[in-house]
A = this chain, B = another copy of it.
Amino acid sequence: MRSFRVTSRYGDYEVVVGRGAWRRLRTLARRGGGHEARPYTSIFVLTERGLWRRWGRQFRTEAGLKNCGVLYVPPGERSKSLAMVEGMAARLLAVRADRRSLLVAFGGGVVGDLGGFLASTYMRGIDLVQAPTTVVAQVDSAIGGKTGVNVGAMKNLVGTFYPPRLVLADPVVLSSLSPRAFRSGLYEIAKHAILAGDRLFRILENEMESLRPENPKSLGRILAAAAKVKVDVVKRDEREARLRFVLNLGHTFGHALEEATAYRRFTHGEAVGWGLLAVLRLANLLGVLAMGEEARMAELVRRIGPLPSIADLNERRIVELLPQDKKTIGGRIHWVIPERVGKVRIMNDIPVKLAAAAFCEVQASSNSTRMGLGAPTRARA
């Protein structure tokens, strides 16, 4: 079990990754949070019904929660809405949650983002613990204090920055994920490895195929290393103005792919997987990639497993959807472009034609290699 401290201008908190992480909640629940450190008047868990059925008893036992209320959120992205926030706030009020109550978000990205927003706004902010239950949530979305809900088709259009009191990531829950859901999270780990540098990248290169819930030791070690990448970025730039932006690596294309398929074909991680392949290609076309680096990084991404096809997608449509990314400031697209393992740069003057070409080439090479069976072979002049 590893533990990292996030220092934030809104307050510090601990990220605990590994088997037994949930036990850390005992201390907080006993001691209480905030400057006053009084015990909480009540504790509520926001979760999904199926997930809680499988893990609720174990979580409550390990976390030492004898009396806690449970609020269920229907699974799926549609739950990330202001209407759901309203419904949950009314529920919290009905069960007499007050300013000294604690909310535990036990679930994946939807529960974490919704629960974070709910905790940050209910009575103008109550204490929050994130207990992420998916790979992406454990190494990425539950860390950093971003919360959000969707408005129409626009993801996270409304949200807050709100640090939790604790992030408790126990890999034991990952064993009930579907293989596809589990794999999806590995794309985000690959992204973190590309950002972090050679050490994590090499470990992943050596252990990719053994990264399975059945190998908790190897898995726990890599989850902790990947979570630390996010922790380090967040510590240095909480509000994303500059450094935190690098975490968008692979997400510019990724978001466009999700939008183009109405969020139905790809999991978020899979879209990021394609996004990484496309932006690596783009970096190659731009001539900023060191020799051999594209192949090395793309191979790691492809080894994660097969990705849903992008063969039928039109590159013009994809490129059209790029500017709708809300990271656009003043109408431009800010790209995170990899230079080599451990180094990226931000560029905002890339011709859209080049982006379209990169997408087409990834499309073509994926068709010819029958999707996911090998790295693209074309080398750069």
Contacts and interface: CB of A to CB of B under 8 A. Distances in A.
A123 B36 CA distance: 31
B89 A157 contact: yes
Given A121-B160, A157-B93, A151 B326 contact: no
A351 interface: no
Interface in A310-357: 326, 328-331
30 contacts: A41-B329, A82-B82, A82-B85, A83-B83, A86-B151, A86-B158, A89-B151, A89-B157, A90-B151, A90-B154, A90-B157, A93-B152, A93-B154, A93-B157, A96-B331, A98-B328, A99-B326, A99-B329, A100-B329, A121-B121, A121-B159, A122-B158, A123-B157, A123-B159, A124-B146, A124-B147, A124-B156, A124-B159, A124-B160, A125-B160
Given A98-B326, A99-B326, A121-B158, 8 more contacts: A36-B241, A41-B330, A83-B86, A93-B157, A123-B157, A124-B160, A125-B160, A125-B161
A120 interface: yes
A118 to B, nearest CB: 8
A: contact size bracket? 35 or more
A148 interface: yes
A160 B99 contact: no
Interface string A127-161: 00000000000000000001110011010111111
Interface string A64-106: 0000000000000000001101100110010010111000000
